[in-house]
């Protein structure tokens, strides 16, 4: 491996963006390595023999309100106008999630739904997203009923499946991710820009990495001996792994997907259907919705959440808990002692980054490094 200016470990969004900026803006040589056989990290997608674009590691929906992020990515791809909606099966009824005013009228008799809507607007503002547990703080029997219903039928069992623990043992930041939306807007995200890259995420990352100053090496493990061969190292792998777990392993949740093919146009009515109370899987993805792929077959993926076990599966979600954050801080302090080694990405920063936040973090880190 040549003595380039920069080594980037990981060819996902974080690594690709920082590599491109170093290559293009600073005119420096960059070697990008990834232990996987493909680029794009967990956003990797591909077209199968049915001509359907498959998201190998679960559905990835791009959304952002950040102009800088949007402008950067639009250099490398066009997006469609897909706006994500999520359906959940609650009491056997397919309805909108997060819970909103439309959900009220889907689930409850009209007189009860109308009364609940009036109470919600009495206590909260329209278009406000209210964390589920906030309703329990109101001294109102109707809102207490609604809180108990949502807690039992939407939050409790789904959270237990997703995180493997009871909701009271999950950090409040996770609870806030499951809001009630006091609106009739069925979109899962309200960001200004939303969509799927027209040629897929893998092609997007490939375009970002396509620069004369960038060399990509797949099936290549990071070794500490590489550090001395480069002026700078940008590490998007797990920070605890970098330090050989000297303070212990950072906990993660992992995900397993069971792919199934059916000889029908569509399997379900929506791209993603959640099952809070039924079955062992958390949700079913149907990929052909994202780019409106035409095929006489359809492919679904049933998603099962499970504990991350080193050597058995992949890290997906950092588990937000005070003791985990304290453990991360030990590694972050250790990282600050290193010269010209930078950590970024969901694994490097031990943060739940959506794709746009991963891009923004790389953009801001480059500005910091480039000075």
The per-residue pLDDT for range 202-230, each reduced to its tens digit, is 999 999 999 999 999 999 999 999 999 99
Residues in the chain, total:
371
Give the pLDDT confidence of 145-188 residue by residue, as tens digits: 998 898 889 888 888 898 887 666 665 555 555 678 999 999 99
Q: Quick one: which of 348, 255, 258 has its CA closest to 307? A: 255
Q: Which two tokens stand for residue 176?
A: 């806030």
Quick: pLDDT tens for 77-119.
Answer: 999 999 999 999 999 999 999 899 999 999 999 999 999 999 9
What is the bridge-based pairing of β-strands 317-318 and 252-262? Answer: antiparallel
Query: Is 0.75 topped by the overall pTM?
Result: yes
Q: What is the pLDDT of residues 56-67, one digit of tens each?
A: 999 999 999 999
Q: What is the mean pLDDT of residues 33-54?
A: 97
Extended strands (E) in 198-288:
214-217, 232-235, 252-262, 272-274, 283-286
- Encode pLDDT of 233-260 as tens digits: 999 999 999 999 999 999 999 999 999 9
Q: What is the pLDDT of residue 150?
A: 87
Query: CA-CA distance, 64 to 314, in Å (whole number)?
Result: 26
Please give the pLDDT value at position 66.
Answer: 98
Helix or strand holding residue 22 (H, E): helix 13-24
High-pLDDT (> 70) share of the chain, %? 95
Q: Which CATH superfamily is domain 6-80+194-248+319-370 in?
A: NAD(P)-binding Rossmann-like Domain (3.40.50.720)
What pLDDT was estimated at residue 171? 59
3-state secondary structure of 181: strand
Q: By 3-state DSSP, what share of the chain in percent is helix, strand and coil, each rounded to 5?
A: 35, 20, 40
Q: Taking the domains of the chain in order of start, what are their residue ranges?
A: 6-80+194-248+319-370, 86-181
């Amino acid at each position: 491996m040549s003595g380039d200016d920069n080594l980037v470990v990981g060819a996902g969004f974080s690594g690709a963006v920082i590599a491109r900026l170093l290559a293009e803006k600073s005119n420096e040589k960059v070697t990008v390595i990834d232990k996987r056989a493909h680029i794009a990290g967990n956003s990797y997608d591909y077209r199968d023999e049915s001509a359907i674009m498959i998201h190998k590691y679960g559905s990835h929906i791009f959304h952002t309100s950040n102009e800088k992020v949007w402008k950067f990515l639009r250099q490398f791809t066009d997006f469609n106008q897909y706006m994500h909606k999520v359906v959940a099966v609650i009491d056997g009824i397919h309805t909108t999630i997060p819970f909103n005013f439309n959900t009220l009228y889907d689930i409850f008799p009209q007189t009860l739904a109308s009364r609940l809507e009036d109470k919600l607007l009495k206590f909260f503002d329209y278009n406000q997203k209210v964390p589920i547990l906030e309703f329990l703080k109101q001294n109102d029997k109707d809102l207490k009923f609604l809180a108990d219903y949502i807690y039992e039928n939407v939050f409790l069992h789904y959270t237990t499946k997703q995180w493997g623990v009871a909701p009271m043992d999950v950090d409040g930041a996770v609870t806030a991710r499951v809001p009630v939306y006091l609106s009739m807007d069925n979109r899962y995200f309200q960001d200004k820009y939303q969509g799927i890259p027209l040629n897929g995420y893998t092609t997007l990352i490939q375009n970002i990495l396509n620069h004369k100053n960038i060399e990509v090496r797949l099936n290549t493990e990071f070794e500490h001996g590489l550090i001395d061969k480069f002026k700078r190292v940008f590490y998007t792998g797990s920070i605890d792994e970098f330090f050989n777990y000297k303070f212990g392993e950072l906990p993660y949740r992992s995900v397993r997907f069971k792919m199934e093919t059916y000889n029908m146009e569509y399997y379900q009515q929506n791209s993603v259907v959640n099952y809070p109370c039924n079955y062992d899987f958390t949700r079913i993805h149907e990929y052909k919705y994202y780019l409106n792929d035409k095929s006489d077959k359809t492919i679904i993926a049933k998603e099962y959440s499970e504990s991350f076990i080193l050597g058995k599966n992949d890290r997906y979600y950092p588990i937000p808990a005070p003791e985990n954050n304290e453990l991360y801080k030990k590694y972050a302090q250790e990282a600050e002692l290193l010269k010209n080694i930078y950590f970024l990405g969901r694994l490097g920063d031990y943060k739940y980054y959506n794709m746009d936040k991963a891009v923004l973090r790389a953009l801001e880190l480059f500005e910091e490094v480039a000075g």
